[in-house]
């Protein structure tokens, strides 16, 4: 049975959430999407997933906690990265210690969802200025039982790449720093969505549930490739950005990955590859600000 409830955000409308209980005891899987407003594949997938559960008798053990859209104002406004009410990137403020809406949402996640989670899946997609390969970020610092559970899940996911991360200030990464096994799934890009991509996210959810022992029926597993030594390039200033490759394309060491110029066409910086590798995701916006992500690349392990 699906139970609808809300995450209470003081001074604002509650965030829509669902609880689904299985037929037997088992792990609690927390699934969240819509942290960034214009990343639509995840919300589309979770809305479809909830409807699927309502209309079909899903035979599983354990419990699901599902939030299709965590950042509703960003979602309805089609905003790049931020919460409308305070202009903050919700995925960059964990642990939350402020009083604006983004902090209040993050506190609810920390206080209400983290304690219940045996595993957490945070679903993202390329924002309106990003193109990417389907990939999963995982905590490179996880150890022992936490690492074993993460490895068991992510190696069965039908994404293209697995990317190690040292980050600890995002929704999934802060959960990992507290010992909660968590992954960040990326599908989609450029503020677009398709039913096919949403269906692939749903497949990833079932693959996660299978790996956690929550379902017994057969699920087709993926064979993602491991990435090592990822490099993240950011803009040193505002400027006009010209990437030279597309997400998923391979390049050779020393090749120019992109150039940053000013409005007059004068060169600000040229970015060259430090090794043979491939583009994981990149900014495709023509205009960029200081500190904006430009390219993430890596090499297959």
Question: Domain locations in the chain?
Answer: 2-223, 226-300
Instruction: Report how far residue 301's alpha carbon sits from residue 294's, in angstroms, rounded to the nearest whole number.
Output: 23
CB 61 within 8 A of CB 26: yes
Q: Does pTM surpass 0.95?
A: yes
Residues of the chain with pLDDT below 70 are: none
**DSSP secondary structure of 66-113:** EES-S-HHHHHHT-SSB-TTT--BGGG-PSP-S-SHHHHHHHHIIIII
* Predicted local distance difference test score (pLDDT) of residue 117: 98
* Predicted local distance difference test score (pLDDT) of residue 119: 98
| Class at the top of the CATH hierarchy for domain 2-223 | alpha beta
3-state secondary structure of 203: helix
**Close Cβ partners of 41 (under 8 Å, ≥ 6 residues apart):** 123, 125, 187, 188, 193, 194, 197, 198, 201
The beta strand positions in the chain, using DSSP E, are 2-7, 15-21, 24-33, 61-67, 119-124, 130-132, 135-139, 161-165, 182-186, 225-234, 239-243, 250-251, 256-261, 267-272, 277-283, 287-288, 293-300
Instruction: Report how far residue 261's alpha carbon sits from residue 269's, in angstroms, rounded to the nearest whole number.
Output: 7
Contacts of 12-15 with CB under 8 Å at 24 or more apart are 12/85, 12/101, 12/104, 13/72, 15/67, 15/69, 15/70, 15/72, 15/105, 15/108
Element (H, E) at 201: helix 195-211
Instruction: Report how far residue 84's alpha carbon sits from residue 74's, in angstroms, rounded to the nearest whole number.
Output: 6
- 226-300: CATH topology: OB fold (Dihydrolipoamide Acetyltransferase, E2P) (2.40.50)
Tell whether omega for the bond before 24 is within 30 degrees of 0, i.e. cis: no
109 pairs with which residues across the strands? Answer: none
3-state secondary structure of 146: helix
3-state secondary structure of 14: coil
* Predicted local distance difference test score (pLDDT) of residue 57: 84
- The DSSP call for residue 187 is -
Using only the alpha carbons of the chain, give its radius of gyration: 19
Instruction: Report how far residue 112's alpha carbon sits from residue 94's, in angstroms, rounded to the nearest whole number.
Output: 14
């Amino acid at each position: 049975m699906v139970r609808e409830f809300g995450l209470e955000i003081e001074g604002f409308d509650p965030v829509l959430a669902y609880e689904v209980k299985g037929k037997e005891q088992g792990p609690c899987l927390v699934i969240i999407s819509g942290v960034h407003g214009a990343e639509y594949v995840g919300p589309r997938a979770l809305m479809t997933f909830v409807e699927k559960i309502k209309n079909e008798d899903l035979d599983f053990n354990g419990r699901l906690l599902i939030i299709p859209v965590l950042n509703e104002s960003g979602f309805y406004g089609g905003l790049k990265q931020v919460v409308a009410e305070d202009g903050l990137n919700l995925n960059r403020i964990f642990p939350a210690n402020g009083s604006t809406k983004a902090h209040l949402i993050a506190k609810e996640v920390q206080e209400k969802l983290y304690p219940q989670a045996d595993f957490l899946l945070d679903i993202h997609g390329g924002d309106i200025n990003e193109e990417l390969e389907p990939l999963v970020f995982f905590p490179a610092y996880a150890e022992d039982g936490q690492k074993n559970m993460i490895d068991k899940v992510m190696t069965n996911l039908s994404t293209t790449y697995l990317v190690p991360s040292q980050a600890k200030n995002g929704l999934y990464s802060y959960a990992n720093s507290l010992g909660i096994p968590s992954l960040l799934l990326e599908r989609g890009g450029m503020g677009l969505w398709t039913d096919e991509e949403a269906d692939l996210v749903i497949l990833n959810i079932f693959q996660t549930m299978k790996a956690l022992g929550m379902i017994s029926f057969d699920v087709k597993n993926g064979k993602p490739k491991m990435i090592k030594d990822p490099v993240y390039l950011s803009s040193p200033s505002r400027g006009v950005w010209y990437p030279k490759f597309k997400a998923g394309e391979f390049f050779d060491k020393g090749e120019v990955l992109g150039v940053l110029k000013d409005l007059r066409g004068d060169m600000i910086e040229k970015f060259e590859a430090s090794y043979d590798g491939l583009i994981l995701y990149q900014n495709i916006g023509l205009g960029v600000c200081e500190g904006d992500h430009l390219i993430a690349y890596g090499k297959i392990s």
